Each structure stands twice: as C-alpha cells, then as structure tokens.
Amino acid sequence: MEIQLTFEPRLHLFVGPAQRTAEASVRCDGVSTLGHVVESLGVPLTEVGALDTAYENPDVGDAALAARSAAEERIMLSRDRGLLHRRELFAGAYIYSHRPAEQLDEVLIRFAPPLAPWTRCTACNGELREVSKENVSERLPTGTQRTYKSFAECTECGHAYWRGAHAGHLDEIVQHALEQVRR
C-alpha cells in the first residue's frame, strides 16, 4: 500500500529529496507501525515528537473527526467501520476489541507510540504541570488536602489532579503499557 507523509522542514535533513515534498508517497507493507515506516525513511524516532494524540470530547461527529484527521495528519482509531471508510481520513486503524484494556494493548502493539505517562489531562488532553497544594486547594474535595502531597493541574482546562487511592491501579496500567511498547 501507499501512504502520504509530510515531513516538517526541520526533519528534511534526514530524508531523501523525494520525501521533502508536501505530500510524499511512501510504499509500506500495511503491517509496520507508522513509527517504523518513518524510521525506515531515515528519521530517528527520537525526533518524531509530532506523532501525538488527540481526541474529541464530547463527540463532534464523523465529518468533523475525519476532517481533523486530514488537516492534522492523524491516524483515526475507531470501531466504527463507516467512519474508517471516509475518504478524507489521513489514515485509519480499526480497533478489534470491545474491552478498553485490550484496546489499549492493540494500539500499543500496532503503533508502538512514544509514551509520556502522567503528562496529559484525561478530560481535554491538555498538558499537565505540577503545582503546589495551595494553588489547587479550592478545586479539591474535602479531605484531599490533608491526605495527599503531589498535585498537578491542566494548563488548558484547569482540572486538578492528585495521587489518590486509585494511583496504585493506574500505576499498574502504566507499567503494563510501557512493557507492551518495549517488546
């Protein structure tokens, strides 16, 4: 199969002249991860910070999702076959499992994305920054201030985060995810 890739100008020193155009056609086997395809063209994976995640919450509809995939060159992950057939998509991947834990494994194994745990807001995908307890105290439920020491807030929506009673379970999920992409 052939896919279209656009490399940022700062990456042009890594790729051949044919890949420096706005939409370079690249042959791939349809099995390799996007990361591997990019790497095979000469770009070190350490330089590929732009293979980033985005999601819409609440749902904005198929047309808007597909348009965003095209405009921002993002891979659409979905169980909706109708959505994946939309011609304007940049790229799409069908998610086979119904179960969230298995869905995560599918994506990790297929795309092996660079992982940065604990850096994004689960409500809006904004970046998190560490803050002192005093900075978020008004946004915390009663009792949280006494019990916990480590806090962060979303730089986009202001949602406050702290390491609570569920942190151990989340640590397990993150640890499992890191092992999946290292395989």
Give the per-residue contact string, 94-123, with Zn ion (x = CB under 5 A; - = no).
---------------------------x-x
| Residue with smaller CB distance to Zn ion, 64 or 157 | 157
152's CB contacts (< 8 A; 6+ apart) are: 118, 128, 129, 130, 131, 160, 161, 162
**Cα 60 from chain centroid?**
18
113's CB contacts (< 8 A; 6+ apart) are: 35, 51, 53, 107, 181
| Residue with smaller CB distance to Zn ion, 36 or 120 | 120
Within positions 130 to 169, which residues make up the interface with Zn ion, using CB under 5 A?
Answer: 154, 156-157, 159
| Residue with smaller CB distance to Zn ion, 139 or 159 | 159
| Residue with smaller CB distance to Zn ion, 20 or 120 | 120
Separation between Cα atoms, residue 73 and residue 11, nearest integer Å: 16
Segment interacting with Zn ion (CB under 5 A) among 63-71, 97-105, 110-118, 125-133: 125-133
Lookup: tokens for 38: 């990019």
Within positions 54 to 83, which residues make up the interface with Zn ion, using CB under 5 A?
Answer: none
Number of residues lying near Zn ion (CB under 5 A): 8
Gyration radius from the chain CA atoms: 19
Smallest separation (angstroms) from Zn ion to the CB of 27: 39
User: Is 124 one of the binding residues for Zn ion (CB under 5 A)?
Assistant: yes
Nearest partner of 91 among 109, 78, 111, 74, judged by Cα:
74
| Residue with smaller CB distance to Zn ion, 107 or 121 | 121
Footprint of Zn ion (CB under 5 A): 121, 123-124, 126, 154, 156-157, 159
